[in-house]
Amino acid sequence: MNQPISITSFASISALGNNSEEIWSNYLLNNHFLSEKEVNGKSVFVGQLSAENQQIINELRKLDLKYRNLDDSVLFAIYVSREAVKNAKWKSEGNFGVNFGSSRGATTLFEKYHKEFLETQRSSTLSSPTTTLGNISSWVAHDLQTSGPEVSHSITCSTALHSLLNGVAWINSGMSEKFLVGGSEAALTNFTIAQMQALKVYAKNKDEFPCKSFDLEKKQNTMVLGEGAAAICLEKGVVENAIATISGIGFATEVLKHNTSISTEAICFQKSMKKALGETNPDEIDAIIMHVPGTIKGDQSEINAIKKVFVSNQPFLTTNKWKIGHTFGASGMLNLELGLLMLQHQQVIEVPFAEKQTHPKKIKNILINAVGFGGNAVSVLLTKNL
């Protein structure tokens, strides 16, 4: 990195709630926030918004006639973006960039319009503009009336952290001093869940913890799909109101042997973590928020990569997917939010069914990981001056 980048605010909406106090309180509970949903005639676990938060999104949809035909993925992004910008005290109609990504994009609308076409051989007028990938960032930028650049992309499950990479690049280039970055996912549809079941990665167990993310003793895959969005505000340099600084970024792509594969020792994660560390001594890392999606191979490969990079002095390891599910393109930013909350509260969050670990006495440096189909890993180093 050319220089440190400040994070001045964050906001999210997920199964854990929609404000930092509520979210942190729910993190302190040793229970998950997954619920059952009937999919294709069978009950499965999902990480969905509460009825109260679904109502907040529905009210947002009613505020403006233009918003009534938008997908939840866009409305989630608009909601968290408004909150993040408000928390950062950025002026509306300001000159800041927007980069919001999503793995699946307008999932519900796309499936609705495609079904409609198959049945009638006709397509609705708004089927194209409301399902294009750029639809998310452009609506966020419109809602906030920013005059900065707007970018959308999909890089599967590392999408949100690639948004962060892009925001950092714009700031380091001198072309922007502020950037709003995030990820949004609203893909709890029958078809999407059926796709995960076809890959044989979806959770089947009905025990206390359906998603066994970071349980290395599990005998079957236990991924659970979740929905949500998260955003952060980035500013050039170290500013007075910084919550934390981004002191390192890393990225790498795996050499694939299969469409969904990752190597046994996650070479991509080894490279991304080393790049993010830069000249920072690995012994100075207090915790890692892992990607671990709840699959046998995915979880173990990331642990193997961590052992390769950190050898005998392994940081405290944790994850949030056992609580809220895997939110695909939003997951990396929700990981980063957990890291920010841990830095703020100087407390780590344990995974109740994982092997017990020694808690760090202080938390200054946290590494955030995300990876997706295609083996595109991203690691981000968060630092807080104590």
Mean pLDDT, residues 116-138: 93
The secondary structure of 160-212 as a DSSP string is HHHHHHHHHHHHHHTS-SEEEEEEEE----HHHHHHHHHTT-B----SS-S--
Per DSSP, which regions of the chain are E strands?
5-13, 35-39, 42-47, 97-101, 150-153, 178-185, 225-226, 228-236, 244-253, 287-289, 316-318, 365-370, 376-383
Mean pLDDT score, 251-265: 74
pLDDT category at 94 given cuts 50, 70, 90 is confident
pTM of the model: 0.96
pLDDT band at 261 (very low <50, low <70, confident <90, very high): low
The rounded distance, in Å, linking the Cα atoms of 251 and 357 is: 27
Rounded mean pLDDT of the chain? Answer: 94
- Per-residue pLDDT reduced to its tens digit, 188-214: 999 999 999 999 999 997 889 999 999
If one compares 95 and 278, the residue with the highest pLDDT of the two is: 278
Write down the domain spans for the chain.
Answer: 5-383
Query: Which of 344, 250, 338 minimizes the C-alpha distance to 292?
Result: 338
Which has the closest alpha carbon to 202: 126, 296, 331?
296
Residue 373: predicted pLDDT = 80
- 5-383: CATH number: 3.40.47.10
Q: Which has more pLDDT, 135 or 28?
A: 28
- Looking at residue 6, its pLDDT comes to 97
pLDDT at 1 over 90: no
**CA quadruple 143, 147, 153, 157: dihedral positive or negative?**
negative
Question: Residue 386 pLDDT > 90, yes or no?
Answer: no
What are the phi and psi torsion angles at 372 (to 5°)?
-140, 180
Q: Angle, to 10 degrees, between the axis of helix 331-345 and the axis of helix 20-27?
A: 90
Q: What is the pLDDT of residues 292-343, one digit of tens each?
A: 999 999 999 999 999 999 998 999 999 999 999 999 999 999 999 999 999 9
* pLDDT over threshold 80, residue 154: yes
Span 138-151, mean pLDDT?
94
Angle at 136 between CA 134 and CA 139, to 5 degrees: 100
For 193, residues 6+ apart whose C-beta sits below 8 A from its C-beta are 39, 40, 44, 46, 202, 225
Q: What is the pLDDT of residue 312?
A: 84
Q: How confident is the model at residue 263 (pLDDT cuts 50, 70, 90)?
A: confident
Q: What is the mean pLDDT of residues 261-270?
A: 85
Confidence of residue 260 (pLDDT cuts 50, 70, 90): low
Taking only the tens place, the pLDDT of each residue in 338-382 is: 999 999 999 999 999 999 999 999 999 999 999 988 789 999 999
Dihedral in degrees, nearest 10, Cα atoms 154, 160, 163, 167: 170
* Half-sphere exposure in the Cβ direction for 347 (13 Å, CA): 8
Query: Hunting for tokens 């890393």 — which residue is that?
Result: 250
What mean pLDDT is predicted for residues 135-164?
94
Q: What is the pLDDT of residue 40?
A: 80
Residue 257, pLDDT above cutoff 70: no
Band of pLDDT at residue 134, cut at 50, 70 and 90: confident
Confidence band for 163, pLDDT divided at 50, 70 and 90: very high
Cross-strand bridge partners of residue 183 = 101, 230
Please name which of 337, 152, 147 lies closest in space to residue 233, comparing C-alpha atoms: 337
